[in-house]
Amino acid sequence: MNNFNFYSPTYFAFGKGREADAGKYVKRFGGSRVLIHYGSGSVVKSGLLERIKASLLKENIHYVELGGVLPNPRSGLVYQGIEICKREKLDFVLAVGGGSAIDSAKAIALGAVYEGDYWDFYQGKRVENALKVGTILTLSAAGSEGSNSSVITLEEGMLKRACGGDVMRPVFSILNPELTCTLPAYQTACGATDMMAHVMERYFTNTQNVEITDRLCEGILLSIIKEVPKALANPNDYEARANIMWAGMVAHNDICGVGRDSDWSTHQMEHELSGLYDVAHGAGLAVMFPAWMKYVMHHDVQRFAQFAVRVWGCEMDFQCPENTAKQGILKYEQFLSSIGMPIRFDELGAKEEDIELLVKTLGLGNRTLGSFVKLTEGDVRKIYELAVY
Ligand code: NZQ
Ligand code: ZN
């Protein structure tokens, strides 16, 4: 196991009705003037936004609202949010929604205390300071409610880029599984695919002797595989929603990634797809992850066979572990299809003729991508090609 630091200071309030205490938590974590930030209307329609505002008013907390965050959140709205925070001297950003609202809130929090252009941070500038962010989560998926990162799409050229740092972990996150019962089946499935990908980016590693994190990863995957079909069959299944919600958090706050190298090449290849076609991140991952697996499998057949046996219940073929490894990838693809995910370019709406453009915007040049297998630009092209058929 590698040396590591693990700093995950988010306070989680989990369970039914917990959003009623949003105002108390803002106060407890030092907020007095708040920007409430949300998406395109689901939180208005559900009445959640009104409940949050009432909770803030109860604690005499001043607030300003900024809605309109789109999935794959755009840079332009972030500038508006920063301007509001500076003008109104706000000291706290409260995100109400999914990963997009939270990521946009994190970006605003960075820019509100920075004199330059906040996009600098998404081009690699070190993150050191930000306003505090709290979240009320309505979609189990991205894990941004506990993660140290944010992903924003620059409207000019639709470039999707990430940035991260300790100060970007929310100070609190309210997780009420009931709030996810209104999710369309497609978003539930996209969310599950994303959280599985967060685990697998960490699971496929070259680091040896990481039994504890291997087993955590496998446990999270097994739980998602068991609970997601239940939530799809009965969207109001509270227990399934609750398990899925916590799975999304533990999949990405890095508790299952510490002490081991993690990969992230599939996420970066996917960000080019959701940047170019504005598709859901989870759906893009459903197309890219199996393709990546098929391409890199021979690097460590044993690890893929372990994944097949422990996660997908495949029988080990001792004569030919490669068969077992392939079987695991097939079962993973079948699961994705069974929950309504696309697994090939055309099902996603992606086009083979855009592969060159995807490779170009990824902008690898002579560098490599990932760590399990260090991918060259040529490898990336081949993986996109594998995702076509
Ligand atoms: O905008 P509204 O009206 O709220 O509708 C949203 C949106 O259309 C809807 N929705 C959310 N909660 C709902 C609901 N509809 C009904 N009932 C509810 N309870 O769902 C749609 C998708 O929302 P979005 O926030 O975009 O989805 P998600 O949570 O999957 O976030 C995706 C974004 O997170 C990024 C992705 O790249 C993508 O931009 N990621 C962020 C990460 C991080 N910060 O750590 C890591 C991830 O790997 C990921 O890259
Ligand atoms: Zn993701």
Supply 36's token pair.
């409430």
What is the per-residue pLDDT across 366-385, written as a single tens digit (0 to 9) for each?
Answer: 999 999 999 999 999 999 99
Atom of ligand 1 at shortest range from CA of 140: 29
Residue nearest to atom 16 of ligand 1 (CA): 183
Each residue's pLDDT tens digit, 267-296: 999 999 999 999 999 999 999 999 999 999
Tokens of 154: 């620059």
CB atoms within 10 A of CB 26: 27
Q: For the residues 31-55, what does the mean pLDDT come to? A: 98
Q: Check pocket membership of 72 for ligand 1, CB cut-off 6 A.
A: yes
pLDDT one-digit tens code per residue, 87-133:
999 999 999 999 999 999 999 999 999 999 999 999 999 999 999 99
Domains 11-179 and 183-386 share a fold: no
Domain borders along the chain are: 11-179, 183-386
Rg of the chain taking only CA atoms, in angstroms: 20
Residues, beta carbon < 5 Å, ion ligand 2: 194
State the pLDDT at residue 158: 87
The whole-number pLDDT of residue 262 equals 98
CATH number of 183-386: 1.20.1090.10
pLDDT tens for residues 243-257? 999 999 999 999 999
Q: How far is CA 298 from the centre of its chain?
A: 27
Residue owning tokens 């938590």: 25
Ramachandran class of 84: left when φ > 0, alpha when ψ lies in -120 to 50, beta otherwise: alpha
Domain 11-179 belongs to what topology?
Answer: Rossmann fold (3.40.50)
- pTM score of the predicted model: 0.97
Which ligand 1 atom sits nearest the alpha carbon of residue 153?
39
